[in-house]
Structure 1
Amino acid sequence: MKNLGILLVIVSFLISCDSGNNKRVLSGANGRINNLLIVMKNSEWQGEIGDELRKFIAEPVLGLPQPEAQFEVSQVPLESFGSMFKASRSILNIGIADKNSFTIATDVYASPQKIITITGENKEELIKEIQKNSSVIVSEFKKSDLRAIRKKILKEYWKPSTIETFKKQGFTLKIPKNYSKVEDNGNFVWYRYHLFGGNSMELISYTVPITSDDDENGNNIVAIRDTMGKKYIPGELEGSYMTTEEAYTPHIFEVKLDGKKAFETRGKWEIKGVFMAGPFLSYTVVDKPNNRLVVVEGFTYAPSINKRDYMFELEAILKTLKIN
């Protein structure tokens, strides 16, 4: 009987996902982005299975000044998984059952919602399933949250046709209407969202020609960034400007954006000569047909407070990039 509960949950998930054309009206999912509800036995959460989950669920987000886990986690046993918890945005079901399995379901009890269920025949098999699927687990929940936050913040956005740099350079980005223009000169665009207490979220974008293999292979990302920062992003004091923090080597990964080869860069910025700093996230897209790099970047200034969710929102915006 101990396996019956989780098996019934799995069956109900699969039935919900394959219920034919009879569409149900779902309530709105609750919970903030980057929050994860884990449904599993307390004893398993506190033991080796929980330890295996925490290895990647609680992994720090790259590029932030202070360590912040990529998910805020709540855990409940299956018997406490009532209607309030069922409306959570992101749910991870873990347990021992009659077979090893890994399933993903969407909009089961609420919308938008992502539910992942993992079972193993015993503790050892369950841990193997978790290890095998760890990257998929993170990716699925992150993609779901990105879609949810994009839907929320992009209900109103500046028409790209009204932004001179986008018109001239032939690419677009959906910038929410609550961001205000700082600069738009046809070659460089900069928008800002004012947070409380002088804090802010910033979006910038520009293009540079490809002049070498190093440009195309992502080896000059920091040098290009520092050149543009000196040219376009001044500090409060005369002669000060934005640069990449020298004491922190950025993390660079090859990715795809708008179907093209791109480089994701996560690091820290600082203002040369001024005590100001924070995290940045940029995407450098290799636009071969036009022999150029298209760069979109988000950074935030929010000292003494957590910045993970701000950077996540900027990521959602940056990934709307479209190159004509």
Structure 2
Amino acid sequence: MKNIFTLFAIVLLLTSCGGNEKITLRSSVGKVNKVMVVTKASDWNGDIGKEIRNSFGELMVGLPQPESLLSVSQVAPNGFGNMMKVGRNIMIIGVGDEEQYYVKKDVYAQPQTIVYVYAKDRAGVVKMFKKHEKEIIKTFIESDISMVQHLFAKHKLDDSQFKTLQNLGISLTINKNFNTVDDTGDFLWLRQHLSSGIAKTGSNNILVYSVPLEDETKVADSIVAVRNRIGKKYIPGSDPETMHMITEKAYTPFTFDAVIDGKKAYETRGKWEVKNDFMAGPFLNYTVVDKKNNRLVIFEGFTYAPSVNKRAFLFELEAIAKSMKIK
């Protein structure tokens, strides 16, 4: 009997050790939109590194200051030790025995995304990277979106308190640092005061509302007109009689196809300003085609943070927008 209990204990111990491998992964570290590239210094300083920096360094549209899509740093393979392996976003790239491109999750830490790119020579590595560059960028951005949403879910604002969201049948994962500016039942305005660095006098803002769906073929062309109309009605300046939010006239917004909650949507990035005033900043607008309810559901985030970079602030608003669920 004693031997049976001993054997059972050993089996249980082995099973526990084998089954908890993922649970015991270390927590990953790293800034949002930052990628660590593991490659030889000679490759980083040559065509491979140049291609990576050009691709990841593409400027994000709609920002007042030039900011890249992704920031990058480099570490040599022999320097990729335990401390480096806890990075959240990693790309391992270089010459290998065969051409390979694949993605792995939670290899050394959690959450973690590692992209692997190999080819038989340096020219092949560049070609392989260029072939998958858009997919690679999308992979890292979506990974960070998921991470931010997960963090916000831990400290989530109870969105059932907002009349507008209830009336529109919408739920969002919003971090609890946002406060209500306006909630009419048809229009919601939330604001988060920024408390870091020079931006402590600034704010991140969320607007949610809907308008009737009239002509689906003209939705993309009507986005600026709709936001200007809403700005005039709900977003006043210091003098409500003469000042209100408008789309900056000197900068043409960019509109892209998108998908929100499985529905066709349009993502628009541009700059806002207050008419007859000096306030301005970037905005991010998602206009969702909700055919079931014959309407357009609109989420807009805009940032006011003078004299500081705004990519990270807008990225948080993007993560909130992409958490949208429509009944």
Normalising by structure 1, we get a TM-score of 0.91
Please state if 1:229 is matched with 2:231. Answer: yes
| 3-state SS, counterpart of residue 62 of structure 1 | coil
The separation in 1 between residues aligned to 2:234 and 2:156, in whole angstroms, is 24
Residue 295 (structure 1) aligns with: 298
The separation in 2 between residues aligned to 1:21 and 1:109, in whole angstroms, is 14
Please state if 1:49 is matched with 2:51. Answer: no
Residue 312 (structure 1) aligns with: 315
| 3-state SS, counterpart of residue 220 of structure 1 | helix
The separation in 1 between residues aligned to 2:315 and 2:254, in whole angstroms, is 16
The separation in 2 between residues aligned to 1:45 and 1:167, in whole angstroms, is 52
Cα deviation, 1:148-172, whole Å, max 9, x if unaligned, reads: 1111123122222211001112222
Matches within 5 A, 1:20-39: 23-39=22-38
| 3-state SS, counterpart of residue 158 of structure 1 | coil
Q: What is the identity, as a one-letter code, of the residue corresponding to 2:315?
A: F
Matches within 5 A, 1:275-290: 275-290=278-293
The separation in 2 between residues aligned to 1:244 and 1:220, in whole angstroms, is 12
| 3-state SS, counterpart of residue 94 of structure 1 | strand
Aligned residues: 305
Cα deviation, 1:168-209, whole Å, max 9, x if unaligned, reads: 122222222110000000000000000133200000010000
Please state if 1:269 is matched with 2:268. Answer: no
The separation in 2 between residues aligned to 1:177 and 1:124, in whole angstroms, is 49
Q: What is the identity, as a one-letter code, of the residue corresponding to 2:155?
A: E
Hey, which bits of structure 1, 4+ residues long, moved more than 4 A?
A: 19-22
The separation in 2 between residues aligned to 1:146 and 1:23, in whole angstroms, is 22
User: Cα offset for 1:59?
Assistant: 0.9
Residue 253 (structure 1) aligns with: 256
Q: What is the identity, as a one-letter code, of the residue corresponding to 1:62?
A: V
User: Cα offset for 1:21?
Assistant: 8.2
**Which ranges in structure 1 are unaligned for 5 or more consecutive residues?**
1-18
Normalising by structure 2, we get a TM-score of 0.90
Q: What is the identity, as a one-letter code, of the residue corresponding to 2:313?
A: Y
The separation in 2 between residues aligned to 1:212 and 1:71, in whole angstroms, is 36
C-alpha RMSD of the superposition: 1.4
Q: What is the identity, as a one-letter code, of the residue corresponding to 1:302?
A: A
User: Cα offset for 1:277?
Assistant: 0.4
The separation in 2 between residues aligned to 1:231 and 1:179, in whole angstroms, is 22
The separation in 2 between residues aligned to 1:175 and 1:23, in whole angstroms, is 28
The separation in 1 between residues aligned to 2:106 and 2:173, in whole angstroms, is 26
* 8 A Cα contact 1:214 1:220, kept in partner: no
Matches within 5 A, 1:1-324: 23-196=22-195, 197-215=200-218, 217-238=219-240, 239-324=242-327
Q: What is the identity, as a one-letter code, of the residue corresponding to 1:31?
A: G
User: Cα offset for 1:211?
Assistant: 2.1
